[in-house]
Amino acid sequence: MAPGGLCWKVDEVMLTLKQAFSTAAALQSAKTQIKLCEACPMHSLHKLCERIEGLYPPRAKLVIQRHLSSLTDNEQADIFERVQKMKPVSDQEENELVILHLRQLCEAKQKTHVHIGEGPSKKQDHQQ
């Protein structure tokens, strides 16, 4: 792989991570009457990104693998297959690819996610 190709992937993954953080923040501020619940897929991704930030790649890989174990077998297999097709050459590259595919999965799940407490009796916490 050409060195420029790896830099492009790193830039793309970093952009993905920034977008995940931004999405979680936007969800929190845009829907003030709905609090982010612990079950939000994007919130879960955001928390994972916080946990791995600054960790050495092998340690981050373990944290990511622990997170992946909470997914269904099919979801785990899908992410594993997608990452292996891209033939990562290091733990860092593999971590970035897993987060990229995990983000795609979380975004898809977020579209159908129902927040805890969401329903007919919405509270207006910020209007007192």
108, part of any domain: yes
Q: What does the alpha-carbon distance between residue 62 and residue 106 come to, in Å, rounded to a whole number?
A: 19
102, part of any domain: yes
Tens of pLDDT along 1-27?
455 555 667 777 777 777 777 777 766
85, part of any domain: yes
Q: How many domains, in total, are found in the chain?
A: 1
70, part of any domain: yes
64, part of any domain: yes
Distance between terminal CA atoms of the chain?
58
15, part of any domain: no
SS3 for 17-68 is HHHHHHHHHHHHHHCCCCCCCCCCHHHHHHHHHHHHCCCCHHHHHHHHHHHH
Tens of pLDDT along 37-64?
777 888 889 999 999 999 999 999 999 9
Q: Which residues form the domain of 42?
A: 36-112
6, part of any domain: no
Q: How many C-beta atoms surround the C-beta of residue 83 within 10 A? A: 20
The overall pTM is greater than 0.75: no
Q: For helices 3-30 and 41-52, what crossing angle results, to 10°?
A: 130
77, part of any domain: yes
